[in-house]
């Protein structure tokens, strides 16, 4: 159903310098992860960016890897990729909620993150969303990270003084 609805897509972000992006992927569902990666890489390259890719065991480890990379690496933006498919237990809710919450908290600290962790009911939905020729959620996550990075550059260049400034 969602694949048939037309969505507005912002114009591609542009940069004066190559953005360096870290893609963190949980390849639990390998074919889904490969399609998400394909879309993300294409979007980053189309924005004249560079990227590195690291793998983590599952979606719960993605926010931790992003946090470590921010502290120890030199990346401008991050793309989180993975897939959680509903099973028979409440583990689905835990993984979906906690991975999303972790990324949101990092984003609120100022990190530019695109969340491409699919949360779906079945494998067919995951295939539709991951496919770069269909919903291309990997490319969308990369575009989101790059748009946030573009905004952070815009706002960093427009700092306004407020209140008292010491000399």
CATH of the domain at 151: 3.40.50.960
Is 137 contained in some domain?
Answer: yes
Say which residue the tokens 């993605």 belong to: 62
State both tokens at 84.
């959680």
State both tokens at 138.
């990997």
Question: Do residues 50 and 21 lie in contact, with contact meaning Cβ atoms separated by under 8 Å?
Answer: yes
Say which residue the tokens 């972790």 belong to: 102
Domain extent, residue 37, equals: 20-157
Q: Which residues are catalytic?
A: 91
Say which residue the tokens 């969505």 belong to: 7
CA distance 35 to 129: 9
Is 33 contained in some domain?
Answer: yes
Is 109 contained in some domain?
Answer: yes
DSSP element (H, E) containing 25: strand 20-25
Cα–Cα nearest to 80, from 153, 6, 148 = 148
Is 11 contained in some domain?
Answer: no
Cα–Cα nearest to 23, from 13, 12, 38 = 38
State both tokens at 29.
């569902």
Question: Do residues 109 and 48 lie in contact, with contact meaning Cβ atoms separated by under 8 Å?
Answer: no
CA distance 20 to 26: 20
Is 8 contained in some domain?
Answer: no
Cα–Cα nearest to 31, from 166, 141, 132, 115 = 132
Distance between alpha carbon 78 and the CA centroid of its chain, in Å?
A: 6
Is 153 contained in some domain?
Answer: yes
Q: How would you write the pLDDT of the chain (167 residues) with one tens digit per residue?
A: 555 678 788 999 989 899 999 999 999 999 999 999 999 999 999 999 999 999 999 999 999 999 999 999 899 999 999 999 999 989 999 999 999 999 999 999 999 999 999 999 999 999 999 999 999 999 999 999 999 999 999 998 766 655 555 55
Is 162 contained in some domain?
Answer: no
Is 15 contained in some domain?
Answer: no
Name the domain count of the chain: 1
């Amino acid at each position: 159903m969602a694949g048939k609805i037309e969505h507005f897509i912002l114009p591609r972000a542009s940069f004066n310098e190559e953005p360096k992006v870290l893609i963190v992927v949980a390849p639990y569902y390998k074919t889904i992860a490969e399609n998400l990666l394909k879309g993300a890489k294409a979007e980053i390259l189309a924005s004249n960016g560079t990227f590195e890719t690291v793998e983590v065991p599952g979606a719960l480890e993605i926010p931790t890897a992003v946090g470590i990379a921010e502290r120890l690496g030199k990346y401008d933006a991050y793309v989180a990729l993975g897939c959680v498919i509903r099973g028979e237990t409440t583990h689905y809710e835990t993984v979906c909620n906690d991975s999303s919450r972790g990324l949101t908290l990092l984003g609120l600290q100022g990190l530019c993150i695109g969340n491409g962790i699919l949360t779906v009911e079945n494998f067919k939905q995951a295939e539709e969303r991951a496919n770069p020729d269909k919903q291309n959620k990997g490319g969308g996550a990369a575009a989101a990270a790059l748009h946030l990075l573009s905004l952070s550059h815009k706002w960093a260049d427009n700092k306004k003084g407020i209140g008292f400034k010491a000399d």
